Amino acid sequence: MGVEGGMKCVKYLLFFFNFIFWLCGLALVVVGILAQVKLNSTLMIRDASSSGVPILLIAVGVVIFFIAFFGCCGAWKENYCMVTMFAVLLSLIIIVEIAAAITGYVFRNKISSIVQDSLTDMISNYNTSSEFHEAMDELQKNLKCCGMNSSADWRNFKSDGNSVPDSCCVNITTNCGIGAMKDSAKVYQEGCSSAVEALLKKNIQWVIVAALVIAFLQIMGIVFACLLMRGIRSGYEVM
């Protein structure tokens, strides 16, 4: 015997919320992949721990994707066991997300050291690796910065100790950085470290907002799942 009355509304609401979860899971996978690619191509971060957040996003996204599909089937078929399993799994996901949020907050200050180590590595290997060369040039062009802390970080770039890569120039032309390290009219003097950290912190704020929205939707999903479970159980008892 199927659920009736108000429980039909709950059933469709749960189905709708699961569709939203499905989209959220897919979005988390995409964001995680893009973040991983960005960290390892643009910033050339070699620290394995820096990949933790993107990998976690991908993992949680995949899990939510399948849980949402499972919940949709349970709600549509009015299957008590499937809806119960959905509620349990979703509760576990919320616990994992809370633990991840706490971990991210505790280790938030590690961003600075990761950025510093990455930029140091990129600058020291600039002349020996085309991969680092292209990544650093792209970073300096996009963020309008030079070096790690300042343009002086390029003192070993040329033998004269007063030259920087052309990507540091305000107006980029061939050899525009030769002998212009301290010339603020030609070369950006601000280092890339502060610019990268500011960019990461700005993006983290949006991630936190998105996480709060998803957590709210998940809690509502659990509430509707419990209501539907109660309705299905009542239907069984009437039969």
Residue spans per domain, the chain = 6-111+196-238, 126-193
Q: Regarding the domain delimited by 126-193, which CATH topology (the fold level of the hierarchy) does it fall under?
A: Cd81 Antigen, Extracellular Domain; Chain: A (1.10.1450)
Bridge partners of 169, per DSSP, are: 187
**pLDDT at residue 3, as a whole number:** 47
pTM, two decimals, is 0.59
pLDDT tens digit string along 136-185?
998 899 889 999 999 999 999 998 889 999 999 999 999 999 999 999 99
φ, ψ at 126 (rounded to 5°) = -60, -45
Bigger pLDDT: 152 vs 211: 152
121: pLDDT confidence band, cut at 50, 70 and 90?
confident
- As a whole number, the mean pLDDT across the chain is 78
Q: What is the pLDDT of residues 66-118, one digit of tens each?
A: 788 777 777 777 777 878 888 888 888 888 777 767 766 666 667 777 788 88
The structure tokens listed for 231 are 């309705």
Per mean pLDDT, which of 23-27, 38-42, 130-134 is the most reliable?
A: 130-134
The beta-strand segments (E) located in 9-158 are none
Report how far residue 67's alpha carbon sits from residue 87's, in angstroms, rounded to the nearest whole number: 9
Look at residue 238 and tell me whether its pLDDT is greater than 50: no
Higher pLDDT, 22 or 145: 145
> With left for phi above 0 and alpha for psi between -120 and 50, is residue 78 left, alpha or beta?
left
